[in-house]
Structure 1
Amino acid sequence: MDKSFRIRRASQDDAGEVARIHIEATRAAYRDIYTVEYLNGLSVEDRAYRWVEKDKGHLAIGRPFGVFVAFDDDVMIGFADVGPTDENGVAELYAIYLDPDYIGKGAGKALLEACADYAASNGFKAMTATVLSRNSLARAFYERTGARAVTETERLIETGGTKETVISYLWANLR
């Protein structure tokens, strides 16, 4: 049975903890995909700044993104980020990251539901996410939660010091 986690909307004050989780989760999830140099070069301070950077950061005031954080008691253990895309009526799940100790315990599902609710309440009919094709854990999670792979959008990107194939997933009919 999944544990109950407290989910709330993130604020700029959360940028440091969101950045910490982002880096820890990235290092765990992509250790066999990204280069060691890239992973070792990640900086909490730099990542926190990117979250609040004016006119760019998803936690910057006035930006149309829903960033949600998950807590186990008073400890932040994950976050997710959703917002608009160039496609009318479709939101994008930009990120969903968890402290590796909390994978499979229900926090990811709770964060995904918060993002889907946010997207639906802001008029989006569907939600998409892009994932590295070699990230089998994320792909399985998306598929378990009702997303389907949209393989015709598979493409190669440069990320993490390497070139990787990505696949788009789609959750249709948010409401």
Structure 2
Amino acid sequence: MADEATIRPAERGDIDGIQRVARRAWGGAYGGVLPEDALDEMLAVHYSDEVLGRTIASSKRSLFVAEDDGTIVGYASGGPSDIDVEGELSIYLDPDWWGQGLGKRLLDCVAESLAEQDVERIEEKVLDENEVGNAFYEKHFDRVGREEIEIGGTTWTANVYRTEIA
């Protein structure tokens, strides 16, 4: 199934599909863990039409979608962080697509895009409670530490993962 999905750069017409996948993926990974209002706020802030439109138009950030039969089933975005040689990454799949290899294909697209911008490594933070996310990053990255982060007024522990790409 994952081999049949097409990965391509996102377009403005993909915004609704990206938002739908974000809601399903965040709900699948954090439902019952993060309060519903915190999830709603994260989605409203980070996945608004305006934010996604700016990301799609950016020359510094990449946003790729995975599509199956015309339906967006996943996406990945990345760009340089404040540290010139380090990149940031986000990968989310519809839960129906978890564990099928599509996340790795999206990771490879973002890593290639970042390498073209002279980024040498990617770092990502994943909450302890996100079992699917931690399993993915444990396979493809090195866990280099832990950090406390705040979401919705609550402090959470996140694993910090890093991998070299250049």
Which residue of 1 is the match for residue 94 of structure 2?
99
* Alignment correspondent of 2:104: 109
Q: Are residue 156 (structure 1) and residue 157 (structure 2) matched?
A: no
* Structure 2 CA distance for partners of 1:25 and 1:2, relative to 1, 3 Å: closer
Once residues 117 and 4 of structure 1 are traced to their aligned partners in structure 2, the CA distance between those partners, rounded to angstroms, is 21
Q: Does 1:58 align with 2:50?
A: no
Q: Per the alignment, in what secondary structure is the counterpart of residue 112 of structure 1?
A: helix
Measured after TM superposition, the shift of residue 17 of structure 1 is 1.3
In structure 2, list runs of 5 or more residues that go unmatched.
none
Q: Is the 8 A contact 1:85 1:91 kept in 2?
A: yes
Native 8 Å contact 1:34 1:162 kept in 2: no
5+ residue gaps in structure 1?
A: none
Equivalent in the alignment of 1:133: 128
1:65 Cα deviation after fit: 0.3
Q: Distance in 2 between matches of 1:48 and 1:23?
A: 14
1:49 aligns with 2:50: yes
- Verify the 8 A CA contact 2:125 2:161 in the aligned structure 1: yes
Per mean C-alpha deviation after superposition, the further-off stretch among 157-166 and 8-17 is 157-166
**Residue equivalent to 1:31:** 31
Higher helix share: 2
C-alpha change, 1:116 and 1:36, in structure 2 (3 Å) is same
CA shift, 1:63, in A, is 4.5
CA distance in 2, matches of 1:63, 1:3: 28
Q: Percent identity?
A: 32
Separation in structure 2 between the aligned mates of residue 39 and residue 128 of structure 1, nearest angstrom: 22
| Contact residue 66 and residue 118 of structure 1 kept, 8 A | yes
Q: Deviations over 1:33-55 (max 9, x none)?
A: 211333466559x6333322xxx
Q: Specify whether residues 81 and 62 from structure 1 end up closer, same or farther in structure 2 by C-alpha distance, changes over 3 A only.
A: closer
Structure 1's 164 and 63: CA in aligned 2 closer, same or farther, altered over 3 A? farther
Q: Counterpart of 1:90? A: 86
Per the alignment, do residues 80 and 9 of structure 1 end up closer, same or farther by CA in structure 2, a change over 3 Å counting?
A: same
Alignment-derived partner of residue 76 in structure 1: 72
The match for 2:15 is 15
Q: How many residues align?
A: 164
Q: Is the 8 A contact 1:4 1:106 kept in 2?
A: no
